[in-house]
Structure 1
Amino acid sequence: MDSPEMRQALAALRLRLDGGQRTLLGIAGPPGSGKSTLAARLQQQFGPDLAVVVPMDGFHLGNAIIDGTPLRQRKGAIDTFDVGGYLSLLQRLARRDEPVVYAPDFRRQLDEPVAASIAVPASVPLVITEGNYLLADHPVWRRVRAELDEVWFMDTPPDLRLARLVDRHVRFGMNRPAAEDWAGGSDEANARLIESTRSAADRIIPWS
């Protein structure tokens, strides 16, 4: 959180929040780039009364939908998310006209999304949402981008990102060869698509 880019981004975010309006901040980047880590640090920086994290991963299609289909081998690809559901949630959060909105989370231990796991009270001014495809140039994803006030893109060295991604897969149950195959295959194909969207970000945040 101590790079010049991060300090500038935080200062601008605080100014935006001073207006009292709700801000929807997106954090985009390839798998393993540190999106969820940055989102958690921002929430800690502002505190739970001012910030809540709503991950895009809560809209993974459930395994009951993708098991037995070609999507199973591409879990995490852009077409394995319920983008319509995610868009609807962002629209509700932007309206801020409900006392509480309940959002889904993704539990890596289960490898499944879990509904209504995150409470977002109307009083919270900053909603941080992190995910791979926030800047994707696809019709519905462009509507997702339009709901976000600002999107930051995580710039993480590829070797570090890949190593962290393999370690994460191992931590949640894959053996190391399988983790390396998945990270270098499906994950890397997704990463190339995501990297192509970085020029659309409002800010590039180097990993530090």
Structure 2
Amino acid sequence: MAAEPVVRLTTSELVERAARIAAEASHAGRARVLGVTGPPGAGKSTLAAALIDGLGHGTAVVVGMDGFHLSNAVLEARGSRDRKGAIDTFDDAGYAALISRLADRRPGEPPVYAPEFRREIEEPIAAGTAVADEPLVITEGNYLLAPGGAWPAARARMAEVWYLDLPDAERLRRLVARHRAFGKPLPDAEAWASGSDQRNAELIAATRDAADLIVEWT
């Protein structure tokens, strides 16, 4: 599907669009998966949380792609610890398998447990999120539209994928602030945001036109 033109939408408008997907899922008797993607610092996790709040209790749950970060021990053994966050530092096959399970899930079936990434320890933890009878699963992450590896298999099970568009200056400001909030000194935060994060952002931007919706979230 060709992407729509870039549109400016409020939280309430995005909640309304997500609610329609949730309603379709309830009618079909099977969960639907909504993807939210964009470069680092674009606001993916913030939007996912806003959708959860707006949709109300029991309607949606967030399953982050970041739960499939490879552990620091694995990255160190592979010599890629200093590139953590790059596309090859994730378990894309594991992520695709989980998305498939979630898209096939019907009400009343046992919960599905998903891993969760904890920024305070910079590690994924197993079974951090329980998916029960919520009709909508919101999954957010950098590489939802990537064309290689197992990423297309995950994308194929998503009802829609939204790409968050944000001016680079503001996105980089947010990234630096986030890195500092989790303990990086300012020079290190700036170096990571303009180095590893920026290389990843350029790769992600190349997938932008494959989204169902490109949105400036206001």
Give the TM-score of the pair, scaled to structure 1.
0.93
SS at match of 1:109: coil
Aligned Cα RMSD in Å? 1.5
Partner of 1:76: 85
SS at match of 1:67: helix
Q: Among 101, 104, 113, which residue is 1:102 paired with?
A: 113
Q: Among 10, 17, 23, which residue is 1:18 paired with?
A: 23
Q: Deviation per CA, 1:11-55, whole angstroms, max 9, x where unpaired?
A: 333233223142100000000000000000001111230110000
Structure 1 Cα separation of the partners of residues 123 and 58 of structure 2 = 28
Structure 2 Cα separation of the partners of residues 34 and 89 of structure 1 = 23
Structure 2 Cα separation of the partners of residues 14 and 68 of structure 1 = 44
Superposition deviation, residue 73 in structure 1:
1.1
Partner of 1:167: 177
Structure 1 Cα separation of the partners of residues 159 and 47 of structure 2 = 17
The answer to whether the 8 Å contact 1:27/1:128 transfers is: yes
Change (3 A) 1:156 1:144: same
Structure 1 Cα separation of the partners of residues 55 and 13 of structure 2 = 15
The answer to whether the 8 Å contact 1:105/1:118 transfers is: yes
Identity percentage of aligned residues = 52
Matched, 1:130 2:128: no
The answer to whether the 8 Å contact 2:38/2:142 transfers is: yes
Q: Deviation per CA, 1:114-155, whole angstroms, max 9, x where unpaired?
A: 11011100x210100000000001141111110111000001
Code of the residue aligned with 2:139 in structure 1: it is T
Structure 1 Cα separation of the partners of residues 166 and 182 of structure 2 = 22
The answer to whether the 8 Å contact 1:57/1:106 transfers is: yes
The answer to whether the 8 Å contact 2:12/2:54 transfers is: no
Partner of 2:101: 92
Structure 2 Cα separation of the partners of residues 6 and 23 of structure 1 = 20
Count of aligned residue pairs for this structure pair: 205
Superposition deviation, residue 68 in structure 1:
4.8
The answer to whether the 8 Å contact 2:11/2:217 transfers is: no
Structure 2 Cα separation of the partners of residues 171 and 38 of structure 1 = 19
Code of the residue aligned with 1:81 in structure 2: it is F
Structure 2 Cα separation of the partners of residues 68 and 141 of structure 1 = 24
Q: Deviation per CA, 1:154-198, whole angstroms, max 9, x where unpaired?
A: 011100100110111111111010110111000000000001101
Code of the residue aligned with 2:48 in structure 1: it is A
Q: Which runs of 5+ in 1 are unaligned?
A: none
Change (3 A) 1:9 1:40: closer
Superposition deviation, residue 6 in structure 1:
5.5
Structure 1 Cα separation of the partners of residues 78 and 183 of structure 2 = 22
Partner of 1:157: 167
Code of the residue aligned with 1:164 in structure 2: it is R
Superposition deviation, residue 95 in structure 1:
1.1
The answer to whether the 8 Å contact 2:38/2:204 transfers is: yes
Aligned pairs for 1:170-189 (under 5 A) are: 170-189=180-199
The answer to whether the 8 Å contact 2:92/2:149 transfers is: no
